[in-house]
């Protein structure tokens, strides 16, 4: 059996910044309300999911010192593909010259961690290198006239290069979950925009992040005190704070980029992770807890040792 190591990382965001002040010009809201209730100050808007995914993927390949022809599979976690059919990952595969396969994965905001676990299984059974990307253009399914939704979402992408290694590797434990009876609390029908019962999503989100994180920690054989950095899905700063409190970890140990990017669904965990890597917050040997929740509902957590 082979394990997994991370050898490359990258991100991409559109250049257009939409501030809370800009939203307040057309919506009955304010910078003060948005910051206090969500922690969001601005978000990026624009581009396409494939273009962001290609840029983030190329950056990750560069860090790994690889080209597309070295990659056996691209997994693109997204809820906002360029179209319904075909998937968006073949566009990424073609642009990056990837020689292997391509698949989209939709587990909403848990998608990146679902992709990490999927990649781990495929690397264990024979693939050598996988490019895992989370990319979204939520702006195209956001109702910009609805203040309860428009303030939350943004566009962006993050990517990791994952390689097989002899032995157990660096994914130490994980948990995946789903509860399809909660489909109606957060959804987007074809041709429509996101509809959400924000309060109910909030309530469930904290609970499932904590339960799922604890399962991943237990399976990894570590405790929350061993975790150097929590990399949570960036949906609301208050959700991150509540989850940290219930997990028994200081919120200082959580990676937070929601102030700059808002909620970017599948892209939020890699955007937060890569931001921490690039700002020197992560050292070799650190243990990271990645945890997310999203529409479905779905949830996913993983304990990753940072070996670089």
Which residues are identified as catalytic?
Answer: 109, 233, 263
Q: Which is nearer to ligand UT7, 131 or 138 (CB)?
A: 138
Note whether 19 binds ligand UT7 by CB under 6 A: no
Taking CB under 6 A as the criterion, which residues in 121-160 touch ligand UT7? Answer: 147-148, 151
> To the nearest whole angstrom, how small is the minimum distance from the Cβ of residue 253 to ligand UT7?
21
Note whether 91 binds ligand UT7 by CB under 6 A: no
Q: Which is nearer to ligand UT7, 67 or 241 (CB)?
A: 241
Binding mask 207-246 for ligand UT7 (x = CB under 6 A): ----------------------------xx--x-------
Note whether 202 binds ligand UT7 by CB under 6 A: yes
Taking CB under 6 A as the criterion, which residues in 173-192 touch ligand UT7? Answer: 186
Binding mask 285-304 for ligand UT7 (x = CB under 6 A): ---------x----------
Only one of the segments 41-49, 130-138, 198-206, 216-224 lies at the binding site for ligand UT7 (rule: CB under 6 A); that segment is: 198-206
Binding mask 242-281 for ligand UT7 (x = CB under 6 A): ---------------------x------------------
183: Cβ–Cβ under 8 A, 6 or more apart, which residues?
295, 296
């Amino acid at each position: 059996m082979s394990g997994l190591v991370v050898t490359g990382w990258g991100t991409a965001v559109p250049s257009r910044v939409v501030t809370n002040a800009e939203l307040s010009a057309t919506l009955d809201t304010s910078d003060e309300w948005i910051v206090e209730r969500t922690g969001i100050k601005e978000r990026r808007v624009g581009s396409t999911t494939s273009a962001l995914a290609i840029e983030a993927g190329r950056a990750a390949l560069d860090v790994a010192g690889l080209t597309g022809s070295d990659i056996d599979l691209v997994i693109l976690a997204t809820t906002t593909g360029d179209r319904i059919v075909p998937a968006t990952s073949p566009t990424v595969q073609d642009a990056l010259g990837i020689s292997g396969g391509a698949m989209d994965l939709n587990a909403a905001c848990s998608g990146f961690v679902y992709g990490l676990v999927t990649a781990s299984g495929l690397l264990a059974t024979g693939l050598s290198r996988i490019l895992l990307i989370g990319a979204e253009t939520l702006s195209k399914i956001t109702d910009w006239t609805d203040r309860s939704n428009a303030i939350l979402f943004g566009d962006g992408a993050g990517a990791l290069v994952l390689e097989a290694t002899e032995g157990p590797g660096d994914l130490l434990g994980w948990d995946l979950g789903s509860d399809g009876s909660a489909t109606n609390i957060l959804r987007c029908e074809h041709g429509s925009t996101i509809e959400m019962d924000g309060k109910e999503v909030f309530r469930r989100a904290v609970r499932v992040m904590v339960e799922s994180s604890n399962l991943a920690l237990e399976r990894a054989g570590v405790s929350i005190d061993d975790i150097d950095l929590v990399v949570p899905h960036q949906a609301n700063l208050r959700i991150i704070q509540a989850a940290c409190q219930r997990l028994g970890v200081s919120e200082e140990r959580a990676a937070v980029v929601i102030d700059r990017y808002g909620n970017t669904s599948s892209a939020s965990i890699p955007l937060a992770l890569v931001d921490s890597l690039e700002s020197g917050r992560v050292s070799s040997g650190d243990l990271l807890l990645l945890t997310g929740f999203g529409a479905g509902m779905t949830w996913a957590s993983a304990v990753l040792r940072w070996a670089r």
